[in-house]
Amino acid sequence: MRKRKQIKKKILKTAIPITSALILLIILFLGYQKITGSSIKEKEFLETIETNTYATIDNYVIYGIHLRLEGKITLENQVENIKLVLSNGKTELEIPWILEQEENTYNFKTSKNNNEGINLEKLPEEDLYLLIKTETKEEEKTTTKYYSVENKSIYKNLEYYTLTKNHKNNKINIEWNTYENCPTLRFKIKETTLPENVYDITIDPGHDVTDPGKTVCFNGSNIIDPDWYGNCEFGSLYKESDMNLYVSQKIKEKLEEAGYKVTMTRNTEQDRVKVYDKMGSATMANDTKSKFSFAIHHNSSGINGGISYLKGLELYVANDINFDLANYFIEEIMASASTVTSSKTQHLSENGIYQRFFTEKEILEDDVQPSNKTTNNIWYYYIREVGGVSTGATNDGRYAPTYPKNEHQKSNNTAEPYLFELGYMDNVSDLNNIINNKENYATGFVRALQKYLEQE
C-alpha cells in the first residue's frame, strides 16, 4: 500500500509540471492567435499571397444589405482566369463582378446598381479576405496566385450587423490591414446579439401632429374638405398622419412577428418628428444602423375640395437601383390589399414604381446657393438623405442653424430607403379600401420583403 502511494506521488510530481507546461503552451498559442488576429492555418494561407503586386480599391460602399466595391489591378503577364474571391484558404466564395480589361490592367466593380454586390446577409460565420485569384496554365500545369487589395478609397473600416434571423445576428467587421505582411481587407464575421440601439428596419409614418398631411371628411361615399377649423359637416375626419401611423403600426407588428427588430420615427398621433439631427426622419435609420428605411404615406391629387380621378399605389425609389424589391412590394400589396398601381405617368419608371429627380429649374430655384444638387438627385429628401453617398445626399448644414444638417450625408454605410404612397385619400374607392384593408396592405408589404430576402 505504501509503495503504491509513493508511485502515485511520483506520477503526480512529474504530471503536474507537464500539465502546467501544456496549459502554458495553450495560453501562449491562444494569446498568439489573439495578437495576430488570425489562426495559424489562416496565417499559412496569407503567406501564400503575392507581395509585390496589389489590387487597389478606389471605392466601397454598403447600401442596405449589399456591399459594392470598385478597383483595379495591373498584372505582369496576361492570365487566363481571373476572379474576385472572399477566401481564407478553406472557404472560398466567388464574387460576381463586372470586368474591363485594358492590356494587363483589369478594372473591376461588383455591380452596376447600388443595391447589388456582395450580399452581406449570406456570408458564412468565418474570417474571409477579399482577394483577386488568377490561374495560368503552362504545359499542363496550372499556377494559382492570390493578390491582396490596398485601400485607396477615402473610407476606413466598416461595421455591419445582419438582419435578425431565428433570434440571431452576425456582426461583420470589414477591416483594412489586419495582417502585418501585406495590405488586406478582412471580413471578420461572428455571431452576436444586436446592441440595444441597433435595429433591422426603421419605419417613418409620414407627417406628425403639427403637419397632418391631407385631411378629408368622408361618410363612405362622399369626400369633402374639412371646414376652416378642421371640422367635418358630415362623415368623419381622416388625417393622413393618422392613417400613415395605423398602417405603419400594422407593418411593425407583422415584421416583429417575422422576427425583425423594428423602430419607428414616431409611435403616437401626438408625437412631433424632426427631420434632421439625431433620430430625425432623415437620419434615424442610419443612427440605428437599420438596413432598410420605409416611409409610409397616403396620396392626394392636390385639388382642394376636389375628387381625385387618380387612384392606386405609387412607390418612390432611389436612383441607381434594381427594382427587385420594389416589384415585390407592388405585386404583393396589389394582391393582398386588392388595389391597383397608380395611373399617374409623371416620374413613372415602371409599373407602380416612380423616380422623382430634381429638374434644372428646381435646382436654380433652390433657396440655398450654391446648390450642390444635380438632376441625378432624388427630389424626395427622405430617399436622397437616407441613402448617404449612394443617393447623393445634399444637406450639409452649410447655413446652420437654419439649414438642416444630415450627419450621414457623406456616409458609405447606409440604409436602403423606399417611400410608399399607398393610395389616394381624395378618391372614394381608394379611401374605402385604405380604411377597411389596413391589415392587408401590411400583410402584402411584409410578404414582399420576406420574398426578397429569401431570393438569391
Residues of this chain that bind Zn ion (CB under 5 A)? 206, 213, 297
Exposed e or buried b for every residue in 43-67, given b needs 16+ CB within 10 A?
Answer: bebbeebeeeebbebeebbbbbbbb
Shortest Å, Cβ 225 to Zn ion:
16
Shortest Cβ 376–Zn ion spacing (Å): 24
Shortest Å distance, C-beta 42 to Zn ion: 52
Rounded to 10°, the helix 240-257/428-454 angle is 30
186 vs 266, which CB is nearer to Zn ion?
266
- Nearer residue to Zn ion within complex by CB, 214 or 252: 214
Q: Which is nearer to Zn ion, 213 or 352 (CB)?
A: 213
Residue number of the CB closest to Zn ion reads 297
Our measurement of the distance from residue 409's CA atom to the centroid of its chain's CA atoms, rounded to an integer in Å, reads 15
Using CA atoms, how far apart are residues 436 and 422, in angstroms rounded to an integer? Answer: 13
Strand ranges (E), 270-415: 292-299, 314-316, 348-350, 353-354, 413-414
Smallest separation, CB 299 to Zn ion (Å): 7
Q: How far is the CB of 167 from Zn ion (least distance, A)?
A: 35
Distance CA 251, CA 206 (A): 14
Shorter beta-carbon distance to Zn ion: residue 116 or 208: 208
User: Prior bond to 370 cis, omega within 30?
Assistant: yes
Nearer to Zn ion among residue 117 and residue 205 (C-beta)? 205
Would you state the cell numbers that stand for residue 321, as one nine-digit string? Answer: 437601383
Taking the complex as a whole, the smallest distance from the CB of residue 274 to Zn ion amounts, in Å, to 16
Closer residue to Zn ion, CB minimum distance, 289 or 297: 297
Tell me whether residue 131 or residue 245 sits nearer to Zn ion (CB atom).
245
Biggest CA-to-CA distance, the chain = 108
Q: Work out how close the CB of 239 gets to Zn ion at its nearest, in angstroms, rounded to a whole number.
A: 11
Helix, strand, coil content of the chain in percent (nearest 5): 25, 30, 45
DSSP assignment of 299-313, as one string? E----TT---S--SB
Cβ pair 256, 381 in contact under 8 A: no
Which CB sits closer to Zn ion, 70 or 421?
421
Question: Closest Cα to residue 434, out of 254, 257, 304, 245?
Answer: 245
CB atoms within 10 A of CB 414: 27
Closest CA to 319 of 70, 66, 63: 63
Shortest distance in whole angstroms from residue 206 CB to Zn ion: 4
Residue 108: which H helix or E strand, with range? strand 105-109
CA 200/CA 263 separation, integer angstroms: 8
* Shortest Å, Cβ 281 to Zn ion: 11
Q: Report the residue number, 70 or 240, with the smaller CB distance to Zn ion.
A: 240
Give least dist CB 240 to Zn ion, A.
5
Residue 161 to residue 120: CA distance in whole angstroms: 9
Q: How far apart are CA 443 and CA 447, in angstroms?
A: 6
* Surface-to-core class of residue 265, CB atoms within 10 Å of its CB (0-12 exposed, 13-18 middle, 19+ buried): buried
Closest CB to Zn ion among residues 206, 404: 206
- DSSP label of 121: G
Min dist CB 384 to Zn ion, Å, is 16
What is the rounded CA–CA span in Å between residue 441 and residue 434? 8
Q: Which one, 134 or 299, has the nearer CB to Zn ion?
A: 299
